[in-house]
Structure 1
Amino acid sequence: MGEPWPSGGQDWQPTGIPGEALVELDVFPPEQHQRWTVLLRLLLAIPQLIVMWFLGFAAFVVVVCGWFGALFTGRLPQWCGEFLRGYFSYSARVYGYLMLVVDEYPPFAWNPPNYPVRVLFPPPTELNRLAVLFRLILAFPILVFTSWLVSGWAMLAFVFWLIVLITGRMPRSVFEATTAIMRTELRTQAYTYLLTPAYLKGVFGDQTGVPVDPATAQWGQPVRQWGQPAPQSPTRPLLLSRGGQVLLIVMLILGILASMLQTVTGDDGDIDDFSLARTTSQILTP
């Protein structure tokens, strides 16, 4: 199987905005989806979502401890950062499977080798104590913005599921928009949970780089050996086609409309509305 992919360090490169400590995402889509797993995707993902619930509770406790540490020292404690990076990497694998961008079932492992979803975190750095003190206030706008995108995706989730079920493939524009939302969610949470001082950027993709067609991206053999360059990913840099950008805008508009409707009807929701797992399951559950 080879050695595990590292979650940062020398493999992390700022592909979109040089000098910004932004989280990067690699996703290698399958050549063909197995239709029976697509049909039962939500059911198959239930064990993973249960694990995610417990890990999410633990992550909340860890970030509270880390907030005090960062407030006094200007750095997130190492053990907090390691746990949170592992947690968000795990969640990205689960969401990638649930959102149909990959077909391989995510293993119940903290750092599995050669899984087709990989999160790359920038190296730990010093944090502004004032920004740490007011982190929730500063993060609120991007949390709301991200929730709009997630809600918009969830409103179209059944259509995406039906397309993949019938054709066995995810259209390129859907893949681009979905992975853009996944990366936006990761960057929002990385800022909120003190893993990076970089505010959310690159929602509509990166501006430079050479695009990789998801249909030709290869994952698997030969397995990369430690120290060799990682294979180029169709999501790093994330260059959205016109169709992907339009679809992302449509999702954003749908999410805003859903939020306005929720306000008008008096349904205030709760903090879980920011959870990708909750929003997705609400739409896909009969």
Structure 2
Amino acid sequence: MSTTTYPVRVDGALDDRLNRWLWLVKWVLVIPHLFVLAVLWIAFALLSFVAFFAILFTGRYPRGIFEFNVGVLRWSWRVQFYAYGALGTDKYPPFTLEDVPDYPAHLEVKYPEHLSRGLVLVKWWLLAIPQYIVVAFFVGSGTWFATQADDRVWAWSGGLVGLLVLVAAIVLLFTGQYPRSVFDLVLGMNRWVLRVAAYAGLMVDQYPPFRLDMGGDDPGTTRLHEPPPGGPPLADRPQDRPIQSGPSGPPGQSGPPPAQPGQSGPRMTAGRVVALVLGIVVTLASVVGLTVGGTLAWLDEGRRDSAGFVTSGRVTLSTSGYALVSENMTIDAGATNVPRDWFGDVRVRAASTEGIPVFVGLARSADVRSYLSGVGYATVRSLGMNRPAYDDHAGGPPPVAPTEIDIWRVQASGPGEQSITWPIDNGEWTLVVMAADGSGNVTVRADVGATAPALEWAWIVVLVSAGLTLLLGVALVVLAVVRRPQPGPSALQAPPPPPMQ
């Protein structure tokens, strides 16, 4: 009997006996999978970008990319099913993109012979918005439960799936049984999410149905034939099993070859394990490089002002004493002009919040210590997310106003904003901000900047290097997890000739 179907099939078989306690540590056990999946999803995104243009110009999803991306979804579903997406099995997930017949979680997507060129432009972002809202409700940041007691707020943002799995885990802990009705509902919501993932991944044109197909066996799978009277159920008939996206078996069998007794799927060779570990390390290092390069690019492009200085945000600094003093800045680059070549000029700007004349100066640290000996002042130890920390030094007023002594390399004083600029040089330096007349209770708004001429080249080099490293890491992981198809017996030897008549 024909039914309304969807070309994505998601199945899960609940284990008859689940360990009461194992779910408490599965978050540790799946860490190796999470590292691999982090890399695989980067590859998924990159390859989907390639597939986007292939569909746009040819109307076809490249078969090799399709198989890989389905494998990533399949691997993710097995890990979810084992861990906190369902807790449906205690059998550890295999490290493979292919379907493993004897594992209790399966995902298949029917390969589309043709996809709409126009639909690919809008389905993954515009048309899928209603589905994304439902998915957010199911798997994250969609449900919030909060109460306030003793000024403490408790919140839950793990989604309805996470909440139901938590309830099932607690029931399992005390009774040893996973509530079947909860499992069926969790499978239905996961099935919905994975259908949307395949749709957003451009693998299907059919819009995901707003239908909660509950139960472990996907009721939305294509049924091609009716069972003969007294014949086996459809699910048990080889010709009625879902169309597989992986390598096919012998004629008449649409899925992969059945596993041999004791076989638990493809095994990883030592070389592949080494490639997998190396690929993960290289990819994670490249992610760090991309983060650093992106930060440097943001500083160069987003924080550089019209005068060419990369400038910090304005910070309010205050003391009840007579001066605000930086910690000693020691510069020793071996040659006087090296820091300038790297960092260029440095600029400090300060303005009193009370409107009084302000003084800003830079001098040798030894001279500053001598001038402020016995004076009450504060050393700015850190800025800490716009909440500065100080070390206070007790004392009285300075013997003379800062403008009356000749220790400053650069200085500026007067009403309004005062600015000093100097080329970085070797030595031990201290920055001082005071009222111009040496009075107490100093409060200013200040920022610091530098021309940093090497910054532009730095972020370009870092981003390019990290991008190449990312491609290398993803390639190593893909080579490690993609299993080459094994030739069948017919490819190894020719069939025997017919007997002579």
TM-score scaled by structure 1? 0.64
1:57-79 CA distance string (max 9 Å, x none): 11011101110111111111112
Aligned positions of 1:1-286 closer than 5 A: 17-18=4-5, 21-98=6-83, 99-111=86-98, 112-135=100-123, 136-150=125-139, 151-201=159-209, 203-205=211-213, 206=219, 227=252
Q: Which runs of 5+ in 1 are unaligned?
A: 1-13, 210-224, 231-286
CA distance in 2, matches of 1:160, 1:79: 39
Please say if residues 165 and 186 of structure 2, whose CA atoms lie closer than 8 Å, have aligned partners that are also in contact.
no
Q: Deviations over 1:89-118 (max 9, x none)?
A: 111101111121122110112223421111
Counterpart secondary structure, 1:129: coil
- Which residue does the alignment assign to 1:243? none
Alpha-carbon deviations, 1:110-154, whole Å to 9, x = none? Answer: 223421111121232311111101122111221221121121222
Judging changes above 3 Å, is the alpha-carbon distance between structure 1 residues 96 and 102 closer, same or farther for their aligned structure 2 residues? same
Q: Distance in 2 between matches of 1:27 and 1:15?
A: 23
The one-letter code of the counterpart of 1:83 is F
Between the aligned residues of both structures, percent identity stands at 32
1:16–1:202 CA contact under 8 A, matched in 2:
no
Code of the aligned partner of 1:109: T
Residues 82 and 229 (structure 1 numbering): CA distance in 2 closer, same or farther, change over 3 Å?
closer
CA RMSD in angstroms, aligned pairs only: 2.6
Deviation for aligned residue 1:160: 2.1
Letter of the aligned partner of 2:200 in structure 1?
T
Q: Secondary structure at the residue paired with 2:11?
A: strand
Instruction: Tell me how far apart the structure 1 counterparts of residues 57 and 133 of structure 2 sit (CA, whole Å).
Output: 28
Q: Deviations over 1:29-60 (max 9, x none)?
A: 11110223223122212221222111111101
Instruction: Return the offset for 1:16.
Output: 5.5
Secondary structure (helix, strand or coil) at the match of 1:132 reads helix
- The aligned length equals 201
The alignment's TM-score, normalised by the length of structure 2, stands at 0.37
Higher strand share: 2
Q: Secondary structure at the match of 1:35?
A: coil
Kindly report structure 1 stretches of 4+ aligned residues shifted beyond 3 Å: 206-209, 225-230
Matched residue type, 1:63: S
C-alpha distance in structure 1 between counterparts of 2:119 and 2:186, whole Å: 30
Higher RCO (CA-CA < 8 Å; seq separation 6+): 1
| In 2: Cα distance, 1:83 partner to 1:15 partner | 30
Q: 2:450 maps to what in 1? A: none
Aligned-partner Cα distance in 2 for 1:166–1:63: 44
- Structure 2 residues not aligned, in runs of 5+: 140-158, 214-218, 224-248, 256-501
Structure ranking higher in helix proportion: 1
1:28 CA drift (Å):
1.4
**Amino acid paired to 1:59:** F
Instruction: After TM superposition, give the deviation of residue 167 of structure 1 in Å.
Output: 2.4
2: CA distance, partners of 1:229 / 1:60: 29
